[in-house]
Amino acid sequence: ICYAVTFEQYMAYIEYIDEAYNAERLTQILTDVTNIIGANILNIAHQDYDPQGASVTILISEEPVVAEELSNSEAPGPLPESVVAHLDKSHITVHTYPETHPDGGISTFRADIDVSTCGRISPLKALNYLIHSFESDIVTMDYRVRGFTRDVRGKKHFIDHKISSIQNYIARDTQEKYQMIDVNVYQENIFHTKMMLKECRLADYLFGVLPDDLTGKELDAIDQKVKQEMAEIFYGRNLRRGL
């Protein structure tokens, strides 16, 4: 989220986002994610689009040597516009959406990430890295376990690891920075977590202008707009102004 009120500031912001998350950068992010979850890269294809956007496709497979520990153990992973990775029968996709309010000066950059994996590979260990790589103000995460596997006696297992919350895969210092809520449906193996940054430094949200260039009244108005935008994205609904 940023505040870019003039057309020139908005175009500069879009250019910055387009460069910061171009195909090369996204390829590196996805390569790091692949390493974190313990997979092998088979092939990489990428493309930058005009006027903006990028896509990356990475074919990957499970490690030839089985890891000693399952990557879905319930613990935080390491820290650090379309990305697709196929993991045998699995994939990782990231699509980015820069957009702006028509007259309010607020611009947002959204990254939608979808991960589907099978076997011993789990994307949960990459959460910390992804949150920090995209410098996220708001994060909405869904984790769903589908299908089943069988043991040697033929008994079906509809989930093969313990999990009570996605939050258990996020580092403590990251948790302390965000307001977090869970909506889980345990009987369906569906886990949902929302995160919103607790403290916002207004200077970090100004693009093409400095706080000293604005009056106190203008700063207060911008601060309200930024917080309103964050709250609406976090709660998933339009809110009355001033909430």
What is the phi-psi region of residue 18: left when phi exceeds 0, alpha when psi lies from -120 to 50, beta otherwise?
alpha
> Torsions phi, psi of 117, nearest 5?
-130, 165
Supply the pLDDT for residue 57. Answer: 76
Active-site pick, 90, 107, 122, 133: 90
Burial 66-102 (b: 16+ CB within 10 A, else e): eeeeebbeeebbeeebbbbbbbeebbbbbebebebee
Which tops the pLDDT comparison, 148 or 180? 180
Q: Extract the tokens encoding 8.
A: 């020139």
Under the banding of pLDDT at 50, 70 and 90, the label for residue 77 is low
Distances (CA, A) of 150 to 72, 118, 147, 153, 155: 18, 14, 11, 8, 5
Among 12-26, 44-58, 189-203, where is mean pLDDT lowest?
44-58
Mean pLDDT of 26-40: 85
Check: CB of residue 74 under 8 Å from CB of residue 160.
Answer: no
Residue 109 pLDDT greater than 70, yes or no: yes
Check: CB of residue 236 under 8 Å from CB of residue 138.
Answer: no
pLDDT tens-digit readout, 158-176: 988 889 999 999 999 999 9
Q: Extract the tokens encoding 227.
A: 């917080």
Supply the pLDDT for residue 10. Answer: 86
pLDDT tens-digit readout, 42-62: 778 788 877 777 777 777 776
The closest of 130, 135, 123 to 92, measured between CA atoms, is 123
| Coil/strand/helix, residue 123 | helix
Instruction: Calculate the CA 220 to chain-centre distance.
Output: 29
CA distance 38 to 231: 36
Under the banding of pLDDT at 50, 70 and 90, the label for residue 113 is confident
Active-site pick, 46, 61, 116, 118: 118
Which tops the pLDDT comparison, 194 or 12? 194
Supply the pLDDT for residue 198. Answer: 94
**Is position 95 annotated as part of the catalytic site?**
yes
> What structural domains does the chain harbor?
2-142+197-235 (3.60.90.10)
Taking all residues of the chain, what is their mean pLDDT, rounded to a whole number? 82
Under the banding of pLDDT at 50, 70 and 90, the label for residue 216 is very high
Distances (CA, A) of 117 to 95, 144, 162: 18, 11, 17
Mean pLDDT of 88-115: 76
Active-site pick, 61, 73, 86, 95: 95
What type of residue sits at position 107? S
Which tops the pLDDT comparison, 72 or 131? 131
